[in-house]
Amino acid sequence: MSDKVYTILIVKSNNNIILDIQHILLSHKNYITEVAHSAVGLITSVKKIIPGLVIYPLLMEDSKINLDSLIYFQNKFKFRIIFIAGDMELKYYKNKVKSALIFFLKKTL
C-alpha cells in the first residue's frame, strides 16, 4: 500500500449532515476519500480501497465499532476515520463539530 493516508468520514445519520458540512468536504475532497453512513458502511468503504480485506473484528453487537480493533486497523493501514454524531447531537454541537473537523484536517494535511 502507498504512503497515502486515506480518510473515511463516518456519518451516523442521514444526508442532511453531509449537506450541512458540504463546503468542508468539497474543500478537502482530495483528503476525505470515502463517506460512510454506518459501521457497515465503513467496512464497505475500506474493502473498496483494500480489496479482499475482511475486517470482522471491527464489528461488535448492534454494529458498534470495536475501538481497539479500529485503532490497530488505522495504524496498520494508515487510515484516519472521523466520526460525526446524529442529527440531535449535531443541532447542539454543529459549530463544534465543524470546528473540530476543520482543525483535524488542517492538523493532518
Domain count, the chain: 1
In which region does residue 50 sit, left (phi positive, over 0), alpha (psi from -120 to 50) or beta (all else)?
A: beta
Distance in angstroms (rounded) separating the CA atoms of residues 34 and 10: 9
CATH number of domain containing 23: 3.40.50
| Structural domain for 102, as ranges | 6-108
| The pLDDT of residue 34 is above 60 | yes
* pLDDT band, residue 109 (cuts 50/70/90): very low
- pLDDT tens by residue, 12-23: 555 555 566 666
Q: What is the pTM of this model?
A: 0.42
- pLDDT tens by residue, 53-102: 555 444 444 444 555 556 666 676 666 666 554 444 445 545 555 555 55
Domain assignment present for 15: yes
- By the 8 A CB rule, do 35 and 8 touch? yes
